[in-house]
């Protein structure tokens, strides 16, 4: 079974805004490296969905979720 990362519209917009910000305030190279790092992190989460540290109860709605 093949899985894919689903990005909600707001998350996608946040990524694009960060990309533009980095491109304007740093360089196009930094923006591209950032975007690639996000893609690589998503690929790692697909390959290892239970990676990370289990969140503690003080996180409210995220209690018991895996944090990367």
Q: What is the pLDDT of residues 6-48, one digit of tens each?
A: 889 999 999 999 999 999 999 999 999 999 999 998 899 889 8
CA-to-CA dists, residue 11 to 16, 53, 54, 56, 59, angstroms: 9, 22, 22, 24, 20
CB atoms within 10 A of CB 37: 10
From 41, 34, 37, 39, select the one nearest 18 (Cα to Cα): 34
Cβ neighbors of 2 (< 8 A, separation 6 or more) are none
> Would you say the pTM of this structure is higher than 0.85?
no
């Amino acid at each position: 079974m093949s899985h894919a990362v689903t990005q909600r519209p707001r998350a996608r917009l946040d990524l694009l805004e960060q990309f533009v910000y980095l491109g304007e305030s740093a360089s196009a190279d930094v923006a591209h490296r950032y975007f690639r790092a996000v893609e690589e992190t998503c690929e790692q989460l697909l390959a290892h969905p239970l990676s990370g540290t289990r969140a503690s109860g003080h996180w409210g709605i995220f209690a018991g979720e895996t944090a990367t």
